[in-house]
Structure 1
């Protein structure tokens, strides 16, 4: 089985950035299938455009644009690319980077999908920083990565606290169709919970209200759609469930610190 070294991914590499134990690779997937292989370093894969299927010894992930996977070092997997353009953004973390910061690597065993919107927003900011490429890029990326790992750890600790099944069920309902105009009464009926219990305890386990969580999901969905330059911002706003373009712009800036036009220009310019 082949081992890929730092900065090596199958496909066409558009850009490689080396930052003191962190390597960022912007890659276009060009092969229909990649056989079993593993990587020298732990890394994130963030799908910016298109689709890819990835399988390991435990699971198979169907990854449209906006999907985020974490892979530990030496964890074998394979890839299948459906027809069409697919682009991935990879962040490799070398072992000495973890060691220098005294980070516990046992918190990140195996490979898994990351679904938390807050983590994905940080990955989009890392992508933006990698394209700026000035003397502050290294410290900015490292700071964002540490925030990313911290949020992932909090999420894992939440799982260990035995979050009630209805919380994950509710998140699944919201993720499946964030554009739907949900009501508290409707969700309470589906989950068979009193509205007071539902709204109070969701905030306890998710650190935000249900409304805030839905806004995050809608902004997250918009990031994936911005890769399609044939879609207008108004069309994206409606597709994601926003009342109008101005509401979309406000929420996008709130969670990303930028505006969708600027991000789209950055994304398309970097192809």
Structure 2
């Protein structure tokens, strides 16, 4: 990120109230438990040190963004979602070309609902996970608000809040041989993989590989690979203007219909709808 092209604003730290942001609020909707806001920064800038009075999720829609909190700097690309508890002090930089964000803030009532469900996780950020797809669906709902949208948005936001709940169990350490399997899946997501072949390369029995993989990653190898392909697809749909059939072939799907079905199952909308979320003026594909 080129930080030399941003403007610096020097103010003392302050608490931003619910619905208050640096940047232009393009559209917003408030409910008893959540406030949804799409925010646009037309140019790069270093934001004043601040905190938010409400806990919130934020989805980076366009541009680049960096923030520092708890002594660590984090840099985000589009399709990243982060969660902050109320009162976390942070320093932010919006990349030189500006940026667009979608925020889901918890009201006092929403905070109480989350507290009743269990303790909240510490601050985190994720890519290619359930919380990202939920945020995309919520953003689409906000942009195309209809009479039924209130209930739809409430349910999506509650699902997002569930992603902020603390899970007390410790993740099991991943053995080195499983690291090699996972890396191979990441390196070749479009290839047709077989458990037996992966097991041979890892030096373990296929049954043992399948069992350990599911225990650690909480999904099968095929499900994990499917998510990798969908993550690649979202990047292609945001950047590349290519037919969906070509995207399907590139990522190892049987055909466009297969790709559309799997994409819809994971993301919650078709590839065409997802593409228009990032390119609203683009015409619909069949």
- TM-score between the two structures when normalised by the length of structure 2: 0.77
Determine which of 133, 136, 155 is the counterpart of 2:148. Answer: 136
Size of the aligned set, in residue pairs, is 267
Aligned residues of 2:44 and 2:98 also touching (Cα < 8 A): no
1:125 is the counterpart of 2:134: no
Instruction: Name structure 2 gaps, 5 residues minimum.
Output: 1-12, 282-286
Q: Tell me how large the CA RMSD over aligned residues is.
A: 3.3
Aligned residues of 1:11 and 1:27 also touching (Cα < 8 A): yes
- Give the SS at the match of 1:83: strand
**Partner Cα distance (2:86, 2:66) in 1:** 19
Report which of the two structures shows the higher radius of gyration computed on alpha carbons.
2
Q: Which has the higher helix share?
A: 1
Describe the shift of the 1:151–1:199 C-alpha distance in structure 2 as closer, same or farther (beyond 3 A): farther
Describe the shift of the 1:152–1:71 C-alpha distance in structure 2 as closer, same or farther (beyond 3 A): closer
1:6-25 equivalences in 2 (<5 Å): 6-25=18-37
The 10-residue stretch of structure 1 (17-26 or 170-179) with the greater mean CA deviation from structure 2: 170-179
**Partner Cα distance (1:264, 1:216) in 2:** 18
Aligned residues of 1:44 and 1:68 also touching (Cα < 8 A): yes
Describe the shift of the 1:269–1:179 C-alpha distance in structure 2 as closer, same or farther (beyond 3 A): same
Matched with 1:179 is: 189
**Partner Cα distance (2:71, 2:182) in 1:** 21
Determine which of 32, 42, 45 is the counterpart of 1:32. Answer: 45
Aligned residues of 1:119 and 1:152 also touching (Cα < 8 A): no
1:81-160 equivalences in 2 (<5 Å): 81-100=94-113, 103-104=116-117, 106-109=119-122, 111-115=123-127, 117-153=129-165, 156-157=167-168, 160=169
Matched with 2:261 is: 250
Determine which of 69, 72, 76 is the counterpart of 2:82. Answer: 69
1:195 is the counterpart of 2:206: yes
Determine which of 165, 172, 180 is the counterpart of 1:163. Answer: 172
**Partner Cα distance (2:90, 2:83) in 1:** 12
- Alpha-carbon distance, 1:237 to partner: 4.1
Aligned residues of 1:36 and 1:76 also touching (Cα < 8 A): yes
- Alpha-carbon distance, 1:82 to partner: 2.9
Describe the shift of the 1:161–1:44 C-alpha distance in structure 2 as closer, same or farther (beyond 3 A): same
**Partner Cα distance (2:243, 2:222) in 1:** 25
- TM-score between the two structures when normalised by the length of structure 1: 0.81
Instruction: Name structure 1 gaps, 5 residues minimum.
Output: none
- Alpha-carbon distance, 1:134 to partner: 2.2
Describe the shift of the 1:212–1:262 C-alpha distance in structure 2 as closer, same or farther (beyond 3 A): same
Determine which of 28, 39, 47 is the counterpart of 2:60. Answer: 47
